[in-house]
Amino acid sequence: MTDIKEFLMPYPKKIEQKEGEVKVDGIKVTGFTCECEVYKTAIEYLSVFGEGDYTVEIEKIEVLEGRKESYILDITEEKATIKANDGAGIFYAVITLTELYKDGALPIVYIEDYPDFYDRGLLLENRYGSDFMTLDDYKKAIDYLAKMKYNQLTVGIYGCWCVQYDMHLSEFLYVPLECHPELKTPRDIRYWSPKKGEFIERENLLPTIFEEDYLGELIAYAKSRNITVKPLFNSFGHNTLIPRLHPELSAKDENGNPTKHGFCVSDERVFDYMFAIYDEIIEKYMRPHGLDAIEIGLDEVYAWFGEDLDDIYGKFEPYCRCEKCRGMDKKELMLAFIIRVCKYLKSKGMKSIYIYHDMLFEIFDIVNEELVELFKKEDIYDVVVLDWWSYTKEEDVFQKREINSLFRSIAKPFTGYYHWVVPMEYNNNIYAHAKLIKKHGFEGIESYSSFEYCFDRPFMYQAELGWNIDTVEDYEAFLARYAANRFPESTKEAKKALDIMAKVMENDRTANKMNSLEYYWFTYVTADEEYPRNYPGGAYKKILDAKDEYIAYFEETIKATKQAMSFFANKESEISRVWYAIAKHYYTYSCEYYTMVKLAEGYNNGSIDKEGVIIHLEELLKLHEDFMATVEDTRIEANSYVYMRNHSINRQVYVDLINYFKTTDDPKLELCDLSYAASERFNKLR
């Protein structure tokens, strides 16, 4: 008999398992029925059992003190009984029931269960990858998250960042706006495809969700899985598209000239423009589905490099200094915007308006009783929800400052966002946020993320802590349950491989040296480097400046990931392929950097000749292309585009060096500046 405590996730509140099991060759559902979508989905999920004589009886009655989403599941030899207060409880009981169904049998068990926090979710940022996700991609993601008992999903629909690829601003708008049809955010796709053996190049592509306008369908599908969607339309921060296209709305300098950045909060036209957008989002996507929560961002409202195509090295304040605004400081300008927008959104029926904490807490230091009284006076205190985010390790969260619960609040840890670089695990960060939620009585936990299966373990860890916070202090038990849940046929060996990867993927810049070498980090504009920046020369400079440390790191990582890969390579499940690809990313780049450093040393001291260099480069090219083939077969296609582009740049380095060595009489090999070998293709990829 399998002890269900060893694999069931999220971990239930009460489990009483008895000896034995009951064979189930099919079921019949009796008892309570209704027309609600969540109930229909629960019945749909039960189809895994097929039709037969074993009874699943559903009762909608008050249980567990009437807690929302709670349920009792009682499995006996005669029948399985589900008791719940609501459709969500029935839905989660069914999810647990299907999780327990192994090899045609169910355990004899009694379970009482309910979530500790009502808000358990993810923010899927509008960034690389999600812009090209199809509705089917989102549906698969929603089913995946629902089975972890998540019930919230924030979908970023507008946000902007600096110049990165193709000398384009990183601007993303996911909904077509009839009120402002000029707002569009096309992007280019460029990468080498191992599957097709050629470069894929497509230009001026609009987000799939924008072109097909499927946000409403996404919301409806999520609702049928007990997941509530709230849109995030950033406003003051991460906003370059609107002021760039409409400089008359932007902040002004001291002479009244438009800066094409930020907003003038004294200009009624700004609010007319933004309110028209909010109106359309609410009426078209939210109200038809009964949604009354929205996120307006307002994070990181300060000047950045790379936000102006005419001056990428300039920094431009988003705060207005016109005649009307100059009498207010930045804090007052921010508050004026918040109050005006929140009052309007409340008048439109919004009951929860989420705002990032960082400007109010870290920059202006005003999350205090005075702000509470101001928001009460302006009649927005009841609807404002502070979204507390910090993505560091536990000891450094929130800049080591004590946060508070003066406002309605959720906490936002980091489950994984940068799916286009080497995957890392931030479970220590999730742990820190979960403890703060418990301490301060926040409404819930909703991580900052992108959706990709390489973040499976962090997704599950947050799901576990959001559902049952009492598991927070036993991380080792979580790791063991995760291994048993994902690899039931070889749990002990899986645990060893997963433990290896936990160390490899650690969120520690000192221990995990691979992340900082990724091409993506070299796409940012800095004050002291020519743009595009020197790559991979900059990465090799980092390595050579601390050569012994990096060589030891590469050797250790190669050994560790090779061991992990040997386990994952022999398993056929989708999650095995995901873990194999993660390990292979670390392995491949460790091999490449290690080999290139040794190769340059050998060539420059005369121990390796020109032909030897070419042989080694061709081996590295083959290794790299083999890794890229794994990626192309593993990643969500939409997410693979930018991930593959970054790897295509490194592939092109080898192609160019091979060509350079074959066509040059006396070639050099200087790793810190490889521009002498760069092709037109390489430069275009950058």
Per-residue confidence (pLDDT) for residue 156, from 0 to 100: 98
Per-residue confidence (pLDDT) for residue 139, from 0 to 100: 99
Domains in the chain with CATH codes: 4-113 (3.30.379.10), 119-473 (3.20.20.80), 502-685 (no CATH)
Per-residue confidence (pLDDT) for residue 507, from 0 to 100: 87
Report the DSSP pairing between strands 71-75 and 79-84. Answer: antiparallel
Distance between CA atoms of residues 490 and 255, nearest Å: 70
Identity of the residue numbered 252:
K
Per-residue confidence (pLDDT) for residue 309, from 0 to 100: 95
Q: What percent of the chain has pLDDT over 90?
A: 98
Contacts with 355 (C-beta within 8 Å, 6 or more apart), sequence order: 295, 296, 297, 298, 338, 342, 384, 385, 386, 387
Rg value, the chain, Cα: 27
User: How many helices, marked H, and strands, marked E, lie in the chain?
Assistant: 20, 18
In the chain (686 residues long), the average pLDDT of successive 10-residue segments reads 93 97 98 95 98 98 96 98 98 99 97 97 97 98 99 99 96 99 98 97 98 99 99 96 98 97 98 99 99 98 95 96 97 98 99 99 98 99 99 92 97 97 96 96 98 98 97 94 97 98 90 95 96 98 98 98 97 96 99 99 98 99 99 97 98 99 98 98 95
Contacts with 568 (C-beta within 8 Å, 6 or more apart), sequence order: 497, 576, 577, 579, 580, 583
Considering Cα of 533, then 539, then 545, then 546, what sign does the dihedral take?
positive
Q: Would you put residue 680 in left (φ > 0), alpha (ψ -120 to 50) or beta? A: alpha
Helix (H, G, I), strand (E, B) or coil at 121: strand
Give the global pTM: 0.97
Q: Tell me the per-residue pLDDT of 168-204, one tens digit each, with 9 for 90 and over.
A: 999 999 999 999 999 999 999 999 999 999 999 999 9
Q: How far is residue 325 from each of residues 268, 329, 566, measured CA to CA in Å?
A: 13, 8, 63
